[in-house]
Structure 1
Amino acid sequence: MSLPIYATPLEKTWHHIRRILCCLVFLFLIAPILIVIPLSFNAEPYFTFTQKMLSLDPTGFSLRWYDALLTTGMHAPEAARGSSWWRDMWEHAQWISAAKNSMIVGFFSTLLATTLGTLAALGLSRPEMPARRIIMAVLISPMIVPIIITATGLFFFYSSIRIQDWGIPYLGIILAHSILGIPFVIITVTATLVGFDHSLTRAAASMGATPWTTFRSITLPLILPGMISGALFAFVTSFDEVVVVMFIASPDEQTIPRQMWNGIRESISPAILSVATILVVFSVLLLTAVELLRRRSEKMRAADTSI
């Protein structure tokens, strides 16, 4: 936003200082990302910039660590890359298995968190709901309580009910990640419901619409942007979570963050930087989607207000 022509010299000076401070804060926040991304293309097995990289020598850059994401753990990584090679990669590559686990856990935990969080937000938005503040504080407590406490409590709880003997794969992790994702859905859907005109639902009921028809035709279209935004936040939370997985996951339920942790502890490899770069790109795309949904929600709310 540009300054008006009548701005005083002091206001102009502060305007430029504020811009500089914002740029410095932004640089401070993205500096780790700016370092990780080029290092993932290092041709050497180092976590530092080589002389060839600093001189922009093409031989100093390589995609070998991205290729390692596909070949690590394979039975025959050097075989010809035909259908059997891709099948071997899909079934045995460690990073691919971790990615599949993360996607499965993230999808089902997001689905559960979005459903329960939306129902809770709808209930909390009703003015006749008793003890709304207390219930809201309890529901969003997973965002406040340190994750190590949550992970420890889940570990002892799962051990007492022997959830590992139920025979349902990923059940413990999905439930745990749902608990961590529900607060994000509640907050985003509740923010969408702020200023919601309940006379619309009463009018629909007076015209003979069933509660389900009213929800599907009136409430759902208005809260859908908030639901999708909360679902994206819940998915990112699940995809990025490592502490709970370390406590309750079985050996064959390793997610990408846990695989990265194992890689740092057991064998230092720049392949971890390649995974980090992919996750950064993935997160940027999700945040872009969230911003587009936020703008769409604001336009819908503005149109509803004008009516």
Structure 2
Amino acid sequence: MALPKHASTLERVWHYTYLVICAAIFLFLIAPILVVMPLSFNAEPYFTFTEKMLKLDPTGYSTRWYDMLLTFGMLEPDAPRGLSWWADAWSNAAWISAAKNSIIIGFFSTILATGLGTVAALGLSRPEMPARRVIMAILISPMIVPIIITATGLFFFYSSIGIQNWGIPYLGVVLAHATLGIPFVIITVTATLVGFDHSLTRAAANMGADPITTFRRVQMPLILPGVISGALFAFVTSFDEVVVVLFVGGLDEQTIPRQMWNGIREQISPAILSVATILVLISIALLTTVELLRRRSEKLRGVSPG
């Protein structure tokens, strides 16, 4: 908010002090990102800024670690980069396989979390719903309970039912990540439903629409931005999660965070910084999408942006 012209000297001093404090907090929060990004272009296999990097010498920077994301684990990484080379990378490169696993798990867990979370949010938005607060607290508990406790509980539960013997790939991880993503969907969809005019659904029912048609033609278009926002949060939760994967994931279910964890334990390589940079860019793109959807939701509901 701009400082008014009639502000006193004390108000001006506090205004600029407040801006400096906000800038310092913002810098503190993004400092790890500001460090990781340039280090991912380090030409040397170090996690520190070299003398050439500090002097902005072009020879101190390289994309070798991004290239390693494609070649690590390949059968013939030095072969000419033709169609067969890319086929080898797609089939054997460790980081590409981890990315494929993360996308597959994230996609199905997001679909499951979005469907269940949206249905739950619709039910919790009804004023006649009994024990709404208790049910809400239970449903969002995976967001509050420490992840190590959730992972341990899922591990013993899956072991007792023998889910690894069901023959369905990624099933345990998908269900676990859906459990972690449902609270985000419930919260975002519930926030979208605040101020929702339920007289619209009653009007649709009076005109002969069945519940499914009412939801598809009346409710869904209005809450769609919140549903998509919740789905994006659920996907990011699944894409970045590592603790549950370590507990319930199989040996062949290496996701990107798990691959990064293994790289830190077994062979420290700046390639991890390259992956971190890519994940940061993906997160920024998803958060930008969420913000655009939030503004669209406000326009649909007739709410002026704050």
For the superposition of Structure 1 and Structure 2, which TM-score range results when normalised by the shorter chain? Answer: over 0.9
In the other structure, the counterpart of 2:190 is 190
Write the letter of the residue equivalent to 2:147. Answer: I
Q: Which whole-Å CA distance do the structure 1 matches of 2:89 and 2:83 have between them?
A: 10
> Tell me, what secondary structure is at the counterpart of 1:302?
coil
TM-score by length of 2: 0.98
In the other structure, the counterpart of 1:145 is 145
Q: Which structure 1 residue ranges, 4+ long, deviate > 2 Å from structure 2?
A: none
Whether 1:10 aligns to 2:16 is no
In the other structure, the counterpart of 1:163 is 163
C-alpha deviation, 1:195, in angstroms:
1.1
Q: Which whole-Å CA distance do the structure 2 matches of 1:119 and 1:19 have between them?
A: 42
Whether 1:114 aligns to 2:101 is no
Write the letter of the residue equivalent to 1:233. Answer: F
Q: Which whole-Å CA distance do the structure 2 matches of 1:303 and 1:151 have between them?
A: 40
C-alpha deviation, 1:2, in angstroms:
1.2
In the other structure, the counterpart of 1:284 is 284
In the other structure, the counterpart of 1:212 is 212
C-alpha deviation, 1:303, in angstroms:
6.7
C-alpha deviation, 1:163, in angstroms:
0.4
Size of the aligned set, in residue pairs, is 304
Q: Which whole-Å CA distance do the structure 1 matches of 2:281 and 2:229 have between them?
A: 18
Write the letter of the residue equivalent to 2:162. Answer: R
Q: Which whole-Å CA distance do the structure 1 matches of 2:293 and 2:255 have between them?
A: 28
C-alpha deviation, 1:209, in angstroms:
1.2
Q: Which whole-Å CA distance do the structure 2 matches of 1:75 and 1:35 have between them?
A: 33
Q: Which whole-Å CA distance do the structure 2 matches of 1:205 and 1:271 have between them?
A: 57
In the other structure, the counterpart of 1:181 is 181
TM-score by length of 1: 0.98
Write the letter of the residue equivalent to 2:157. Answer: F
Runs (5+) with no aligned partner, structure 1: none
Which string of whole-angstrom CA distances, capped at 9 and with x for unpartnered residues, describes residues 263-300 of structure 1? 00000100000000000000000000000001111111
Relative distance call for 1:303 and 1:8 in structure 2 (3 A) is: closer
Q: How do residues 68-147 of structure 1 correspond to structure 2 at under 5 angstroms?
A: 68-147=68-147
What percentage of residue pairs aligned between the two structures are identical?
77
Q: Which whole-Å CA distance do the structure 2 matches of 1:303 and 1:263 have between them?
A: 47
Write the letter of the residue equivalent to 2:287. Answer: L
Which string of whole-angstrom CA distances, capped at 9 and with x for unpartnered residues, describes residues 38-75 of structure 1? 00000000000001000011100000000000000000
> Tell me, what secondary structure is at the counterpart of 1:85?
helix
Question: RMSD over aligned Cα, in angstroms?
Answer: 0.9
